[in-house]
Chains A and B, each alone.
Chain A
Amino acid sequence: MNGNIIELVDLTKKYGDFTAVDSLNLSVKKGEVFGLLGPNGAGKSTTILMLLGLTEPSSGSVRVCGIDPVTNPIDVKKRVGYLPEDVGFYFNLTGWENLMFTARLNALSGKEAAAKVKSLIERVGLSDAAEKKTGQYSRGMIQRLGLAEVLLKSPEVIILDEPTLGIDPTGVVELLQLIVRLSREDGITVLFSSHYLHQVQQVCDRVGIFVEGRLIAEGNLKELSGKLFEGAPYVIEAGVSFDGIDLKNAKPEEWLHEKLNGIEGFTAVKPGRNGFNIECQTDLSAIISKTIINSGGGLYYLNKKEFGLDEIYNRYFEGGMLNGRRQ
């Protein structure tokens, strides 16, 4: 078991000629919040379906809680809670009735089921709406009800497929906080798929980036950005004013390059979205600002740029596309 609750080895899923998931190797540790990140159609949902034994892999092996979902789907489903993308409930039943139904499918006795449903409805903050038909629920309420349902079976792992789809921003924050709290309080492993970078960034311990059926990178944010932006670990954004400077027909970035060239550790200047991106090996903000001002330039701002998932994602995604074309 070596502490990994989900273990995928060379997992491949083909639909005819199309390879949805291509020799995927992935392991998720117990208690972790793992984010599967990727564009639509990257194979995230297919991977999730294989984890639950809802579809069979073409080759490779899956172990969830040490169990093979291909041969023992029921045992896996007892331990894994799954919130499908765009989940729905029976809209002619109330939230409470919907949860009772699921609880009894999980072979809970009536008494246990009633107690558990009540406490979970309180936990996800739906006490007032429990007696309302789910047809009247908003999207966010449906997702919270879905989360309550997932927790009904006291799972070891919960798998959330695009849980934040179609919810307004405040609802998203609430839901994500709820997920993190639940995971921390109960020690549940969470696997969470999304194509929204910021959400994944907020809650996940580790992220795997998925493009065209392949996991092209995994690790926490620091590791990922370290791996990816090796050449230039520091990028400083600078807003520079050139009022009263004679550029002598040179481009502004060339002028800047000339001025900064002497500094040790400096590598390049590139025009950025607003100002310039100055790439260097160490944090040179202090010297750069001094140099610019001494050369007669004006400085609007100087900003050390952190690599968020946005950049990581964009860069990997471009790479993936290129590789895809090359094949």
Chain B
Amino acid sequence: MAGGSDKSFKPALNFTRKLKGIISGSSGPAFYKADERIIHPFSVIVQKEIADHVRSWRFLILLAIISLTCLGSMYTALSSIREAIKPNDPEGSFLFLKLFTVSDGILPSFVVFISFLGPLLGISLGFDSVNSEHNKGTLSRLLSQPIHRDYILNAKFVAALIVISVMFVALGFLVMGFGLITIGIPPTAGEFMRIIIFLVISIIYVAFWLNLSILFSVRFRQPATSALSGIAIWLFFSVFYGMIVDLIMKGMVPQGFATENQIINFELFRMNLNRLSPSQLFSDATTTLLMPSVRSLGPLSMIQVMGTIPGPLRLTQSLLLVWPQITGLVAGTIICFVLSYISFMRKEIRSR
């Protein structure tokens, strides 16, 4: 009996060993291979960083959370998509996009989930990128190798960006694939392009938070400090900023007999204040792209609306509408990167 149980145990053992090999990576990054190739040092660092990210518990947990929310939002979208289409709806022909935006009121839509969890992903991939190397004592060792100093920072950014991009593109395509199977209507070329651009904007949005957290990781010696500063800013913008703007605007509400101009100016000011928040920029950009019937992000006067036929915008028109938002997000990303770059290049790295 004992021998029998032994035998039955062996394949299981083999299997776990194999699984362990896959997880801990007996097949690691390409630079472990003993071939004739010379890999550029920059891509060596990128490979190592990607391997580190993919194998870290932190990333696996976030991946699990985001995949689950993605599944949940897809489920609600699919179950409520029937009610979402009304006759004479200008977006009726953009059924596929509704997969990303429709919700049943209980679970938020895919877009809302991304705008909420994306920053967390960015912060968690970047908050300890430089200071943990310093604390481990590996940074001064790395700097004494014949590589340019900025390789380290750039490679960390590129690696995290690649991880995020792969993840978002995979998730986006998964949602599309499931939708295709369930509703059976293929997306049009326009819809497909809109989804791709939406994914790109999501990646830029997460890249902004990634760079912000890299900046903190250069500035602060303790990973906990930099993580908390990142999360604090994220919470500030996603929870408190709206309240503060409302509070300010309450005192500035125009009187009952205000002119049209005053009311429009008031509304514009409120929107511009809101747009200082990156999550507002992101949600402006994504709703416009995924709901082609949105034709203006600001207030429209009666004269402007009068006589218009409700209809979807063309892709180029939608893009034109959100171009400032996209530019703003990219600019924020670049500013954070430049700041961390300058501060990293000027830093004198002593051992630990």
Asked whether, in the complex, the Cβ of A153 is within 8 Å of the Cβ of B34, the reply is no
Chain A residues within 8 Å of chain B by Cβ, number? 40
Q: Does A97 contact B (CB under 8 A)?
A: yes
Q: Does B141 contact A (CB under 8 A)?
A: yes
How far does the alpha carbon of A104 sit from the alpha carbon of B52 in the complex, in Å?
A: 17
How far does the alpha carbon of A77 sit from the alpha carbon of B148 in the complex, in Å?
A: 10
* Min C-beta distance of B274 to chain A, whole Å: 42
List B residues 276-326 near A (Cβ within 8 Å). Answer: none
Residue in chain B with minimal CB distance to A161:
B351
- Residues of A contacting B146 with CB < 8 Å? 74-75, 77-78, 105-107, 153
Asked whether, in the complex, the Cβ of A90 is within 8 Å of the Cβ of B349, the reply is no
Q: Does A109 contact B (CB under 8 A)?
A: yes
Contact of B136 among A54, A77, A90, A104 (CB under 8 A): A90
Chain B residues within 8 Å of chain A by Cβ, number? 34
- Cβ contacts A34-69/B at 8 Å (1 or 0 each): 000000000001000100101100000000000000
Asked whether, in the complex, the Cβ of A86 is within 8 Å of the Cβ of B351, the reply is yes
Asked whether, in the complex, the Cβ of A87 is within 8 Å of the Cβ of B145, the reply is no
- Residues of A contacting B10 with CB < 8 Å? none
- Cβ contacts A76-119/B at 8 Å (1 or 0 each): 01101110111111111000010011101111111101110000
- Residues of A contacting B40 with CB < 8 Å? 107
Q: A45-B350, A55-B348 are in contact. Are A87 and B137 (CB under 8 A)?
A: yes
- Which segment of B41-49, B97-105, B261-269 sits at the interface? B41-49
- Residues of A contacting B48 with CB < 8 Å? 101
How far does the alpha carbon of A280 sit from the alpha carbon of B90 in the complex, in Å?
A: 110
* Min C-beta distance of A174 to chain B, whole Å: 21
Residue in chain B with minimal CB distance to A56:
B348
Asked whether, in the complex, the Cβ of B137 is within 8 Å of the Cβ of A107, the reply is no
Asked whether, in the complex, the Cβ of B352 is within 8 Å of the Cβ of A110, the reply is no
- Residues of B contacting A86 with CB < 8 Å? 137, 351-352
Q: A54-B349, A106-B145, A106-B146 are in contact. Are A100 and B138 (CB under 8 A)?
A: no
List B residues 331-352 near A (Cβ within 8 Å). Answer: 348-352
- Residues of B contacting A91 with CB < 8 Å? 136
Q: Does B235 contact A (CB under 8 A)?
A: no
How far does the alpha carbon of A49 sit from the alpha carbon of B143 in the complex, in Å?
A: 11
* Min C-beta distance of B297 to chain A, whole Å: 46
User: Can you name 13 A-B pairs with beta carbons within 8 Å?
Assistant: A45-B350, A55-B348, A74-B148, A75-B146, A88-B137, A89-B136, A89-B137, A92-B55, A100-B31, A107-B41, A110-B37, A111-B35, A153-B145
Q: List residues of chain B with CB under 8 Å of any chain A CB.
A: 28, 31-41, 44-45, 48, 52, 55, 136-138, 140-148, 348-352
